Structure 1
Amino acid sequence: MNKKKAKKWFVIACLSPAMILFAIFMLYPTISIFAMSTFRWGGLSSNKVFVGLHNFQTLMQDMNFIRALQNTIFIIAIVTVITMAIAILFASILVREKIKGQNFFRVVFYIPNILSVVVISSIFSAIYDPSEQGMINSVLSMLNGEGWETIKFLGDSKIVLYAIVGAMIWQAIGYYMVMYMASMSTIPEHLYEAAALEGAGKVRQFFSITLPMIWDNIRTTLTFFVISTINLSFLFVNVMTNGGPNGASETVLSYMYSQAYSNASFGYAMAIGTVVFILSFGLSFAINRVTERDNIEI
Structure 2
Amino acid sequence: MKTQQSRSDDGLTAVVPATAPQQVVKRRRKPLTWDKVSFFAVFLGLPLAIYLLFVIWPFVQAFGYSLTDWSGFSPTQNFIGLENYAKIFTDDIFMKAMGNNILLVIFLPIITIILSLVLASLVTVGGSSKGQIKGLRNSSFYRVVSFFPYTIPAIAIGIMWGQIYDPSGGLLNGILTGLGFDQFKDFAWLGDKNTAMIATMFVIVWGFVGFYMVLFVAGIKGIPAELFEAARIDGAGRFRTAVSITIPLIRDNIQTAYIYMGILALDAFVYMAALNSGGGPDNSTLVMAQQLFFTAFSKGQFGLASAMGVVLAVATLIFSGLVFLVNRLTGGDKDVSL
Query: Do Structure 1 and Structure 2 share a fold, with TM-score over 0.5?
Result: yes
Instruction: Report Cα offsets for 1:249-272 as digits up to 9, x if no partner.
Output: 110000001000000010000110
Pick the aligned partner of 1:99 from 131, 136, 145.
Answer: 136
Unaligned residue ranges in structure 1 (runs of 5+): none
Secondary structure of the residue that 1:219 maps to in structure 2? helix
Matched, 1:209 2:241: no
1:266 aligns with 2:294: no
- Counting only pairs closer than 5 Å after superposition, residues 1-298 of structure 1 correspond to structure 2 as 4-14=32-42, 15-96=44-125, 97=127, 98-131=135-168, 133-144=169-180, 149-231=185-267, 233-242=268-277, 243-292=279-328, 293=331, 294-298=334-338
**CA distance, structure 2, for counterparts of residue 254 and residue 189 of structure 1:** 47
In 2, Cα distance between equivalents of 1:63 and 1:5: 61
Secondary structure at the aligned position of 1:9 is classed as helix
Q: Is the 8 A contact 1:130 1:153 kept in 2?
A: yes
- Asked whether the equivalents of residues 161 and 249 of structure 1 are also in contact (C-alpha less than 8 Å), the reply is yes
Alpha-carbon distance in 1 for matches of 2:315, 2:290: 15
Letter aligned with residue 89 of structure 1: V
Shift of 1:99: 2.0
The offset of 1:119, in angstroms, is 0.8
CA distance in 1, matches of 2:302, 2:234: 64
Name whichever of 142-151 and 56-65 sits farther off. Answer: 142-151
Shift of 1:7: 4.8
CA deviation vs aligned residue, 1:108-148 (integer Å, no higher than 9, x gap): 111111110011001110110101x2111112222336675
- Aligned-residue Cα RMSD (Å) equals 1.6
Q: 1:130 is paired with a residue of what secondary structure?
A: coil
Whether the 8 Å contact between 1:128 and 1:154 is mirrored in structure 2 is yes
Partner Cα separation in structure 2 for residue 152 and residue 7 of structure 1 = 66
Deviations along 1:220-276, whole A, 9 cap, x unmatched?
A: 221122113323x11011111111224221100000010000000100001100110
Find the aligned partners of 1:263 and 1:145 in 2 and give their Cα distance.
44
Question: Does structure 2 retain, via aligned residues, the 8 Å contact 1:84–1:173?
Answer: yes
Alignment gaps of 5+ in structure 2: 1-28, 128-134
Find the aligned partners of 1:151 and 1:222 in 2 and give their Cα distance: 33
**Counterpart-to-counterpart distance in 2, 1:121 and 1:229:** 15
Runs of 4+ in 1 over 6 A off after TM superposition: none
Larger radius of gyration: 2
Greater relative CO, 1 or 2 (CA 8 Å, sep 6+): 1
- Per the normalisation by structure 2, the TM-score is 0.84
CA contact (8 A) 1:111 1:174 kept: yes
Structure richer in helix, relative to its length: 1
